[in-house]
Structure 1
């Protein structure tokens, strides 16, 4: 008969499962969208072609007692969450933006039928549990993904003029005609020539108000030589002492151009100021020592600036000649013009004064204030200080 006995339970020591998971895109619809606010469209548009995501859950038995691979069909307590910003919301079966597969090998697969957002991208969190049938140990799967959206919206068009904000026009040296050309940059391309997308509105600043320049035939369009879409051509001799021009852009990506500039239209300005630089004046024909018997002096004036002798100075200057005789205390005007003939007085003092004739101006009848015209009805102009 036995003296002693011992009893023990013998079980299998199972090695814990190795689990892994990833969210996969099923089909050809990508998990990234492109949005263009110009046309308010998503590419792809999940409301038309849904995105399908599959949370693949894998379990591997190192001892090979169980078949390794996907365990989606055996998942329990499965949940999908929608996350927008800081808001995390459980996706229920009555949410029409989603369809979730709840049975079979594709269990957990979700069909997304709503679009993401540039500012607050749509994110998802998946949670599920798997029970090891050998040990009843519960394994948890937790995965997340974000549906990124790229903003393909074209940047707001930028309007620029090739004329600086302030231009000093020197009539002595600079051309009379100036072309002011507008450019429109959408991205890196200048699209100003596209008449389907760009409409330019030109204005003249008058006493603080904008006066439209439409076809060059307006009441005050004396300086306008041409207006062609994005180019305004002016004769600077008719702008007065200064003039500000304003360009506003009407832009439409789809070709629906406005008939007037919107309140937030891109705007560019340029101010042109008439500026005559410092000049020097001298004359020839009157040496300091005059031959005896001289009765008349034939003089010729010339004007010099920093570039040399100014050509055609009479166009811009009035030449006033003054004389002070030895018997007088003051100068008196003797002649005008660039080539006068002046009576010579021995011992006299000769002075030449050069005056700016100013810009072109409309001639007005002093009696009734009407604009003077020639026989053909053309408005008459002359310089302000003529």
Structure 2
């Protein structure tokens, strides 16, 4: 197929439309449930009140705002792909925003802007706090009449178009790779995302996986949950992955989360694996063992090797003393099969399949 033919084919698969809409119209769509801004994203996209105030200032001054991308679902509802924080800020300022429990959230109290310094302390309507001032009727009308540009992926498009577009728009953004995956999970199947979050809060998992504050903030714990299931599901032996591991994990997650997929998260295996590991080693489970001591921070290579090996051999380890499992986990640090495949010079696309293949044998001996 030539490049020209390929472009023509792909262009037919992604159909878009675009037009401007007033904020008043957007508020009506939101009240009627015709636009889904995924309130779960609020835990992922973090804007402070200064950033929110700058957006409202831009709206009032007519400063162009980047277009908001939405995808039209089969039921006609618009899924917001890019622009969640912009829309939620506008809704919060107007006193319309509801969280993921469908509870109304407090109105946004504006901070002084770069150009509109007098915005400080203003709210949209009724003052809710001492020292705040409400917009008058004319300002509220001007605000509701302000236009927002929308780009719509129509329902006739390829079903995967909105996920591909989300990944492209958020590539290299302030989101961590897992925060972007979390957004994709919410769009694909909210219940799948909720199960992953619940597992990330498992007490044994939390106790045996010690992460830095930065890793916690960037949703790395949810990534480790996905890695666990992706690794257990990995077949093909030690052959190098055809793409970088991050891309591989995202692709696996998209397939697993698809409501039409037959895949189901094996929570029983996850829970038992971390119960055994926490009982045996606690917070030292994934820390380097050397000269009888546990050293350093959390090790992703040991996580991959140990969790895959134990999960694949639960029948063996559930009937043995915790001291046996402790000795086996600590022994990996001197084992050639682990050391040769987990050094800094081994890329994840080579490391992961090799460790998975060897770990199942190592913990099955």
Output the TM-score relative to the length of structure 2: 0.21
Output the TM-score relative to the length of structure 1: 0.21
Larger radius of gyration: 1
